[in-house]
Structure 1
Amino acid sequence: MTQIKSILITGCSTGIGFDTATTLHGMGFDVYATARKAQDVDKLRDLGLKAKLLDLADEATIKTSVQWVLDQTDGKLDALFNNGAYGQPGAIEDLPVEALRAQFETNFFGWHRLTQIVLKIMREQGYGRIIQNSSVLGLVAMPYRGAYNASKFAVEGYTDTLRLELRGTNIQVSLIEPGPIDTEFRANALEKINEYIDIEGSVHSKAYKPQVARLAKKQVSTAFTLPPSAVTKSVIHAITAKKAKRRYYVTTPTYLMAWFKRLLPTSWLDAILAKN
């Protein structure tokens, strides 16, 4: 088996991407960390990482980032961790089309552009690992998370299809399914709900107010919330195991929801999810 050393990671400014990049770097992997904002790239470089600006909504930065990696690796790339994403809150009927487009541009289409480019490299070299950071909300839906749900359901179907199409190659594809992780996800979601949703003018205004209060909190929201290192552990297995898992469930809620989805009638599952 070819030993995986070089890895390109998106969304490394904070949280999961940051933890994965710094941990793998410390383990001796050849890490290529990317982030959407220049100041975050500078922070990564100050820590000794190879870092580059990559905005998943900007195809030019995707192409230049991959070329930047190839210029340093003799044209090869062992692994890709598609991680960069955000959550757009809001009821389906309140979401403007541009909010959905923006959500999919970052959470899905950008991943597709990057994956297509990387797949050509991996096919030529004859091996590779692609890890997709999905979510428990790619397994089940929850109210007021429709845009994010839709993007992660798309990632799930996309990745399952890709895995089938790559059967017979030495390119392995894995999905990671985190539940609640202690990241900047809530702060980013708060910014997006204020940008796109008319809270006071919505029929859902009463339901939005506790959500906004929850998103504004700095502290961990549930007893089940795990640190980003829990996801990093799964990424490490996905790139080092002889045979990577097809799915990695992270956090108790993900295991529970996957089990509920398989065993419970839809009406029962709806009743559980509607309370969240």
Structure 2
Amino acid sequence: MKTVLITGCSSGIGLDAAHHMRARGWRVIATCRKEADIQARRDEGFETLHLELADEDSVARCARDALALGPVDALVNNAAFAIPGAAEDLPRGALRAIFEANLFGTHDLTRHFLPHFRQHGGRVINISSVLGLAGIPWRGAYVATKFALEGLTDVLRVEMADTPVRLVLIEPGPIGTRIRANSIPHFEAWIDWQSSARADQYRQTLLKRLYEPSAKKDRFELPPRAVSEKIALALESANPRPRYYVTTPTWIAGIGRRLLSTRALDWFARRS
């Protein structure tokens, strides 16, 4: 039985991936940040560890405790959060906070596992986003971390080609998760929208999306299982692809980056 550690298993993609990989015969170590979520995963029969990506000691402890449970064959870096808001309204502290979790902590955790993977073989699956391929308004902080994750993963993949370690990016578009609702506390903590030059735009667009979500589902939205299936493919394929797109918008963004001018991409971003 192979073992995979999956981060961000409180809900959404991480939780679904944990159940999906266990159903496929994998031993799953699920990490969460909150104690209530840790207990919920234990009640479901998972081996569970606490992980706070913004805390270096927590990252080191999580990796150490996971390896103490036995050999680990794969790491799925899924945990991340968003801070919605206009880029001009993002203070330095907001960017520091989101990079600590979405990039620095993720990379730090990967580094803790690389010596083990070098010896035994292993795979690192980084969950990126369509927003790692193309930026759209109000998502500047999240876009910045995903663009950075894409670049760092690309370099690691090339550098680790002479080792038994394989790195894969999975790039979902709209997925039915709680990321929007979970972003509200971060928005309220960091974005002074009422003092913004774009206050009227906040009222007309972002605030409605955050606080008055439509019951109508995005026509391109897929359930978390669509991502879990790509994770399984990346983990179980003899020769995994460097990237796996999930949802139509990701395919459009990927093709658009290769074929369209920057001005054309900007035009589409403004209408996203």
Q: TM-score, normalised by structure 2?
A: 0.96
Which residue number in structure 1 is paired with residue 145 of structure 2?
151
Quote the Cα distance in structure 2 between the aligned partners of 1:25 and 1:87.
28
Q: Judging by fraction of residues, say which structure has more helix.
A: 2
Which residue number in structure 1 is paired with residue 33 of structure 2?
36
Which residue number in structure 2 is paired with residue 162 of structure 1?
156
CA deviations on 1:33-81 (whole Å, 9 max, x unpaired) are 00111100000000001111101011111111112211221xx210000
Query: Could you tell me which amino acid in structure 1 is paired with residue 76 of structure 2?
Result: F
Work out whether 1:63 is the aligned partner of 2:57.
no
CA deviations on 1:214-269 (whole Å, 9 max, x unpaired) are 12327464111000000000000011000011000000000011111110111111
Aligned residues: 270
The partner residue of 1:82 within 77, 80, 84 is 77
Quote the Cα distance in structure 2 between the aligned partners of 1:257 and 1:175.
15
Which residue number in structure 2 is paired with residue 182 of structure 1?
176
Q: Check conservation: 2:138, 2:206, Cα contact below 8 A.
A: no
CA deviations on 1:151-185 (whole Å, 9 max, x unpaired) are 00000000000000011222111000000000010
Aligned to 1:167, the other structure's residue is in SS state helix
Quote the Cα distance in structure 2 between the aligned partners of 1:25 and 1:18.
11
CA deviations on 1:101-133 (whole Å, 9 max, x unpaired) are 0010000000111011110111122x1100000
Q: Check conservation: 1:11, 1:18, Cα contact below 8 A.
A: yes
What does 1:123-134 align with in structure 2 at a 5 Å threshold?
Answer: 123-125=118-120, 127-134=121-128
1:135–1:220 Cα change, 3 Å: farther
Q: Check conservation: 2:84, 2:141, Cα contact below 8 A.
A: yes
Quote the Cα distance in structure 1 between the aligned partners of 2:24 and 2:119.
27
Deviation at 1:5, TM superposition (A): 1.0
Aligned to 2:193, the other structure's residue is in SS state coil
Query: Could you tell me which amino acid in structure 2 is paired with residue 69 of structure 1?
Result: A
Quote the Cα distance in structure 2 between the aligned partners of 1:61 and 1:103.
16
Q: Check conservation: 2:31, 2:50, Cα contact below 8 A.
A: yes
